[in-house]
Amino acid sequence: MADANAPVRRRKTPQAGDAAAAAPTKLSAPQQAMRRLGLLRDVDLALHLPLRYEDETRVAPIAALREGETAQVEGVVSDCRIEARSRRQLLVRLRDDSGELLLRFLNFYPSQQKQMAPGQRLRVRGEVRGGFLGREMVHPAIKGVEPGAPLPQALTPVYPTSAALPQAYLRKAVASALARAPLAELLPAPLVPKGLPSLREALQFLHQPPPGAPLPALEERRHPAWQRLKWEELLAQQLSQLRARQERARLQAPQLPVQEGGVREALRAALPFTLTGAQERVVAEIAADLALPQPMHRLLQGDVGSGKTVVAALCAAAAIDAGWQCALMAPTEILAEQHFRKLVDWLQPLGLSVAWLSGSRKGRQREQMLAQVASGEAALVVGTHAVIQHDVAFARLGLAIVDEQHRFGVAQRLALRHKLQAQSLEPHLLMMSATPIPRTLAMTYFADLAVSTLDELPPGRTPVLTKVFTDTRRDEVVARIRDAVTQGRQVYWVCPLVEESEHLDLQNATATHAALAAALPEAGVGLLHGRMPAAEKAAVMARFTQGQMQLLVATTVIEVGVDVPSASLMVIEHAERFGLAQLHQLRGRVGRGVAASACVLLYTPPLSATGKARLRAMAETSDGFEIARRDLEIRGPGEFMGARQSGDALLRFADLHADEALLQHARSLAPRLLAEHPAAARAHVERWLAGRAEFLKA
């Protein structure tokens, strides 16, 4: 059987005495392009499936062509000339026994004119159009043929590719690799769903469908051959998740049982509010995990404002009570600093030291913090990516908390977990997300996680009214802001760019700040964006939080973590350009106080179908779980996965909505297959995921 890792193209064996034999063969541009696409093994090419198909198995008479259809004809060139109209054009007349067709080329080379000289027989494929000179094709695909040349015996696949990788080269490489690839059945036949072809049969059919194959079923991925691939892919993914969970269960973690009379109980007593029922339930779930000697790997999900931070604080207190440190990492300095301030307010009065690590903290201050972390004096460490830098050493890291986990890469999350490896232990890991995970996504990408859900908002959160306006109504919005400021309210105005872009005609933050400052001289108007120095950002945010400015023009740096109860109006410029989850997060910055709050989504027409769907969802619901479900429908799982996929999606073929039945089957089969046929399970995961299984462990 061929090696699964065999290269796609094999080098010629060097001859003895060949001076160039020792030098590595330089890859051609198409070979380099295949590497960039990840097409390294025969099986990679076999699983590189067509986007669509062209039917070159039939030739239609010219007289039978209908306007708007894509067809293939064969005939002899009767005339070929260049005409100079508004621009030079190459006009070719092709004739068969039934009629004549005009071929029009607006861009052409002299070699093409020679290829289509009068008397040449051509096979031509393209879209039929009506014109002043009769039916025509513009820039059709052409091929010179001999009389009686045979037609292809299969539909012609059109593959995902790049400019440096021509379709003809890729088709030949795929066909060659498909013949060599090790595609033997790895799974016991009784476990395969009935009615599905073997893997080799399925791939052979999808790469080379016979004439008359049902194109709609193929291109919509409903054909049994597609069902076999989707099921295999889902099974590999479920097996990999299950193996990751089993491997983690064999690791050791510090046990952090609840201590009577400790910091955790003191913190609960000092809180100025009562926990919701959902918070009580989730705190108990996490406490049970922390008491075990195996590392917790739990996702805490909850809608915007559901109270995840206080849950994190209670979990951190439990770790500290047991004599261990806790680290909390957030993706932005603003969010990390918000957490830091809250946790300092809650924990410092109880005698605990909270360290702050960020990219902006340097010199002696940073050295002092690093010393406190290394000595264990800092019981809790809060920060950005700075927490995982190589010079950060923890004395006893027992719990790692990652907020907005989908915005961190795999390597970053793993680096935080590995901060305890010197002691042969792994810290417990709590990942938090304000983007709720739809059920089908939880069953696939997050199948190795325990999931806790905060499905109850604390009392006092006011509902946010959402309005959708075209940007032609900007003056009305500015008037609304003037009224809000007069009443002592505060306002956010969010823009997608910092400065003008030559490529994107978007309202930018600096220009908007200047315009609003001129239009509202009575209001203090501030500007906040990611390119500002950290100290300047902190100063602007502090002034807004303290009510010293009424209107804050910002980019999406305020997306998460910002909590200003008197802010009651949010305006989002070019809302159609934002993702649905991001719009929901931004809207969550208002409605945190007692005043009625509103969110205005400004858009520039015309709207795309995706843009319409996003804005409609925002106007119709404020339920984060429903928003998440619709976002999954619109964008697919990438929105929720963040860098876990790193441009290399773990599900290439399966659709989480259309293929839920296949997912359920794979999910129920995975434990049995792993227990009864472990070798087959390992081989199946390697075939489908190769080295990508590591992506599921973070």
Report whether pLDDT(500) > 80: no
Q: What is the pLDDT of residue 503?
A: 53
Please report, for residues 152, 296, 297, 433, 580, the alpha-carbon distance to residue 245 in angstroms, rounded to integers and kept in the order given: 49, 10, 9, 20, 31
Instruction: Report d(CA 220, CA 416) in Å as an integer.
Output: 42
On the question of pLDDT at 255 being above 90, the answer is yes
Tell me: pLDDT of 590 over 50.
yes
- 3-state helix/strand/coil string of 37-84: CCCCEHHHHHCCCCCEEECCCCCCCHHHCCCCCEEEEEEEEEEEEEEE
Q: pLDDT value at position 10?
A: 40
Distance CA 336, CA 385 (A): 10
H or E stretch including 394? Answer: none
Q: pLDDT: is 92 or 531 the higher one?
A: 92
Average pLDDT over residues 278-297: 94
* pLDDT tens figures, 575-589: 998 888 889 888 988
Per-residue pLDDT reduced to its tens digit, 396-413:
999 999 887 655 555 565
Same fold for the pair 263-454 and 464-621 = yes
Lowest mean pLDDT among 4-13, 245-254, 504-513, 549-558: 4-13
Worst-scoring range by mean pLDDT, 173-177, 561-565, 635-639?
635-639
In this prediction, residue 19 carries a pLDDT of 38
CA gap 541, 336 in Å, rounded: 13
Please give the average per-residue pLDDT across 320-332, as a whole number: 90
User: 520: pLDDT confidence band, cut at 50, 70 and 90?
Assistant: very high
Q: Categorize the per-residue pLDDT at 506 as very low, low, confident or very high, splitting at 50, 70 and 90.
A: low
pLDDT tens per residue across span 184-228: 999 999 999 999 999 999 999 999 999 888 888 998 899 999 999
pLDDT of 18: 42
What value does the mean pLDDT take over residues 59-82? 94
- Per-residue pLDDT of 420-439, as tens digits, reads 655 678 899 998 888 777 77
- At residue 642, the pLDDT reads 45
DSSP-derived pairing of the beta strands 100-105 and 141-144: unpaired
Q: Where are the domains of the chain?
A: 29-53+157-222, 58-151, 263-454, 464-621
Minimum mean pLDDT among 96-100, 121-125, 245-249, 566-570: which range? 245-249
Cβ-Cβ contacts under 8 Å for 192 (sequence gap 6 or more): 228, 231
What ranges in 546-636 are assigned the alpha helix state H? 580-587, 609-620, 624-635
What pLDDT, on the 0 to 100 scale, is given for residue 639?
Answer: 45
Q: Give the pLDDT score at 314.
A: 95
Lowest mean pLDDT among 112-126, 406-420, 653-667: 406-420
**pLDDT tens digit sequence for 349-400:** 998 889 988 877 778 888 998 999 999 999 999 988 888 888 888 889 999 9
Q: Calculate mean pLDDT across residues 138-155.
A: 92
Which of 444, 450, 446 is closest to 238 using CA atoms? Answer: 444
Looking at CATH, the fold of the domain delimited by 58-151 is given as OB fold (Dihydrolipoamide Acetyltransferase, E2P) (2.40.50)
Residue 7 confidence (pLDDT) = 41
* CA dist., res. 638 & res. 647, Å (int): 9
Whole-number mean pLDDT of the chain? Answer: 85
Percentage of the chain beyond pLDDT 90 is 47
CATH fit for domain 464-621, picks 1.10.443.10, 3.30.110.30, 3.40.50.300, 3.40.1110.10: 3.40.50.300
Contact 202, 229 (CB under 8 A): yes
**Residue 180 scores a pLDDT above 50:** yes
Q: Which two tokens stand for residue 513?
A: 């700040």
Give percent of the chain above pLDDT 70.
Answer: 88
Count helices and strands in the chain by DSSP H and E runs: 23, 21
Average pLDDT over residues 554-560: 74
Run of H or E including 296: none
263-454 CATH: 3.40.50.300
- Give the CA distances from residue 671 to residues 91, 444, 487, 651, in Å, rounded to whole numbers and listed in that order: 64, 14, 61, 20
